[in-house]
Amino acid sequence: MTSPECIEIGTGVVIHEHAWLSVVPAIEGVRPSLRIGDNCSIGRMCHIACVGQIVIGRDVLTAERVFIGDTYHDYADPDRPVLHQSMAHPLPVSIGDGAFLGIGSVILQGVSVGERAYVAAGAVVTADVAAGVVVVGNPARPVRRWDEAAAEWVAFG
């Protein structure tokens, strides 16, 4: 059951139809916290699964079918159905101001996506993404970055 008292939503936020904010106290002693900054747009069928801490900065745009999660269903006991096992200990997730999460992208536990980063469609982000970097693929890897001196996007590397 979602705990609305653990959700903080800024001003000017749009949450499109069928988005799911699952903020659940599933770990004893851990109070979940989901914060969505001002002027964000959360796409249709976006699923945010929070049992620890997820922070989405200001002016973040998520496309449809994005998944953001700070934990996963544990599977340590092979003799028990996953449904009956506890959640793994959550690791904080943060999405920086002005970032974009493309259609069908996945942001996994313990990941920070930097300011103005661009996560391409279908990317599975398993490690931090620096500010101003474009990532693609599964697992997500950097392909471009914003070069301040040249004032343009350049190939990564």
3-state class (DSSP) for residue 137: coil
> How far apart are alpha carbons 140 and 131 in whole angstroms?
15
> How far apart are alpha carbons 129 and 135 in whole angstroms?
8
3-state class (DSSP) for residue 102: coil
Contact assessment for residue 3 and residue 23, using Cβ atoms and an 8 Å cutoff: yes
Backbone angles phi, psi at 25, to 5 degrees: -80, 85
> How far apart are alpha carbons 85 and 43 in whole angstroms?
30
What amino acid positions are annotated as catalytic residues? 73
Closest Cα partner for 101 from 147, 51, 33, 54? 54
